[in-house]
């Protein structure tokens, strides 16, 4: 019985996909009760203009992981201002999985995300600042080190600075040495900062 039911769903899904792939119809399908229908709609909406807001809205409510993955993929393909702003907004979500998914998606959009980095790294929420540093981890952009140096030079939150130091130990150049030394002095009573900074200094000096 289960096998027959699954074939029926698959057949219905394929037929449904053949019926209409017009953008307005895809937006309706994006809200369908059937997860497979929503997944197909999210994939095909990559060919439609002006749909990022609807995709972001669905992403924030979507419980099915496979659908969320396709929505995120489509948003990175679109890569417009609305898509990027929507991903940034997900960094404030209470859903830890959604936050992590948004971070991974943003890493794929270095040029689109770069103009927002300065604002995100000075956001009032330290968690958002930490997530933003995590985005920098795989962001292929020439200003990554400069952004990290600014973080360890100005941010008052120890966890934000600690996250930035961890990344500087991997991407830092001699330009980071003096700011790292200053950070050690600023958080002289913080054992982890002392350990992480010493590690970063050693790695940079031996590269």
**29: CATH:** 1.25.40.290
Same domain, residue pair 120 and 43: no
What is the pTM assigned to this prediction?
A: 0.81
pLDDT at 57 over 70: yes
| pLDDT tens string 153-207 | 999 999 999 999 999 999 999 999 999 999 999 999 999 999 999 999 999 998 7
- The residues, ordered by sequence, that sit 6+ positions from 184 with a Cβ below 8 Å of its Cβ are 193, 194, 197, 198
pLDDT exceeds 50 at position 6: no
Residue with the larger pLDDT of the pair 5 and 190: 190
The whole-angstrom separation of Cα 72 and Cα 120 is: 20
| Predicted pLDDT at 15 | 53
Distance CA 129, CA 132 (A): 5
User: CA 169, 98, 38, 54 torsion: positive or negative?
Assistant: negative
81 and 175 belong to one structural domain: no
Q: Is residue 123 located within the same domain as residue 175?
A: yes
- Asked if residue 150 and residue 81 are part of one domain, the reply reads no
Which residue segment(s) compose the domain that 142 sits in?
Answer: 116-207
Same domain? 5 vs 98 = yes
Residue 73 in this model has a pLDDT that exceeds 50: yes
Give the burial string for 9-21 (b: 16+ CB within 10 Å, else e): eeeebeebbeeee
Query: Which of 46, 75, 108 is the endpoint of a domain?
Result: 108
Q: Averaged over 98-109, what is the pLDDT?
A: 94
Mean pLDDT of the chain: 90
122 shares a domain with 46: no
- Rg over alpha carbons for the chain, rounded to the nearest Å, is 21
Residues 185 and 123 in one domain: yes
pLDDT score at 21: 81
Q: Contact at 8 Å (CB) between 144 and 175?
A: no
Q: What pLDDT shows up at residue 20?
A: 62
List Cα–Cα distances, 70 to 34, 54, 59, 66, 204, in angstroms: 15, 14, 10, 7, 39
Q: Percentage of the chain surpassing pLDDT 90?
A: 85
* Mean pLDDT of the 33-58 span: 96
Q: What is the pLDDT of residue 141?
A: 84
94 and 143 assigned to the same domain: no
Domains held by the chain: number: 2
Q: Which of 66, 82, 108 is the last residue of a domain?
A: 108
């Amino acid at each position: 019985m289960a096998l027959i039911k699954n074939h029926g769903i698959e057949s219905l899904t394929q037929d449904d996909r053949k019926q209409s792939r017009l953008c307005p119809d895809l937006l309706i399908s994006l809200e369908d009760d059937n997860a497979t229908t929503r997944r197909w709609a999210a994939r095909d909406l990559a060919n439609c203009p002006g749909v990022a807001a609807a995709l972001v809205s669905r992403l924030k409510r979507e419980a099915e992981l496979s659908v969320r993955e396709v929505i995120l993929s489509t948003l990175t393909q679109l890569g417009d201002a609305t898509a990027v702003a929507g991903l940034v907004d997900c960094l404030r979500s209470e859903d830890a999985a959604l936050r992590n998914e948004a971070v991974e998606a943003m890493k794929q959009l270095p040029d689109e995300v770069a103009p927002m980095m300065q604002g995100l790294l000075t956001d009032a929420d330290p968690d958002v600042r930490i997530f933003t540093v995590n985005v920098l981890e795989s962001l292929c952009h020439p200003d990554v080190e400069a952004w990290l140096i600014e973080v360890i030079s100005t941010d008052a939150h120890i966890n934000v600075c600690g996250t930035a130091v961890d990344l500087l130990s991997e991407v830092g150049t001699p330009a980071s040495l003096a700011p790292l030394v200053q950070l050690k002095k600023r958080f002289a009573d913080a054992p982890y900062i002392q350990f992480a900074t010493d590690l970063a200094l050693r790695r940079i000096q031996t590269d």
